[in-house]
Every structure is written in C-alpha cells, then in structure tokens.
Amino acid sequence: MNQLFSLYCLSAIEVDLGTFRDGDFLTSEHGEMVKKCILKLCGSLKPHMISLVDTFPPDDEQMDSMLAPTNGDLYGSIINKIYTAPKAFERISNWRSLYE
C-alpha cells in the first residue's frame, strides 16, 4: 500500500510538473527523477497487479457494462438496458418532417 501511495503522489506531481517548474520548486533533474521513480515503482508493483485488481473489482453500476454483468445474464442485461433507456420506444421529434 505504501508503494501505491507513493505512485499516486508521484503521478500527481508529474501531471503538474510544469507548475512546479514555473514556481521554481523543482528543477528539470527533479522531474527526471520523478519519472524514473514512477517507472521503478511500476516495475516493483507489476507482480502484484493481478491480486490488486482482483481485490478491488468495480461493480456493474460503476462500469455501466451491459455486456459483462456480474449475474452472467447477458441477454437480460441488454434487454433491461434498452427497455429502461429514456424515449427508447418513441419516434424522433422530426419524424413527420423527414417524410413530408
């Protein structure tokens, strides 16, 4: 968890590296050091990635996936998504003007 926290912090710094450089908080050498540390952390976390991903699985609501529901009912999931979509069974507003 410490490595994940370090990776998160270093990634946040890398995203705003330009701001840190403009404020003279970091030099270009520091920027390179941050990037190297991120790569090193990614390498050290690589053997643990599968167990980490399996530990924090997103649920269907977060993924909004009708093709991979947790209950395994693919057909029911697709039908439910279509039937509950707003205005799924209505004609488009300019339907008549298209054919007049």
Residue 36 binned pLDDT confidence (cut-offs 50, 70, 90): very high
**Residue predicted with more confidence, 88 or 95:** 88
- What does the DSSP assignment read for 22-34? HTTSS-HHHHHHH
Q: What are phi and psi of 69, to 5 degrees?
A: -70, 155
The pTM score is 0.52
- Per domain, the residue ranges of the chain are 2-55, 59-100
Closest Cα partner for 16 from 2, 30, 36, 37? 30
What is the reported pLDDT for 92? 75
- Does 30 score more than 80 pLDDT? yes
- Does 67 score more than 70 pLDDT? no
Structure tokens at 18: 């330009």
Residue 77 binned pLDDT confidence (cut-offs 50, 70, 90): confident
Tokens 């990614």 locate to 42
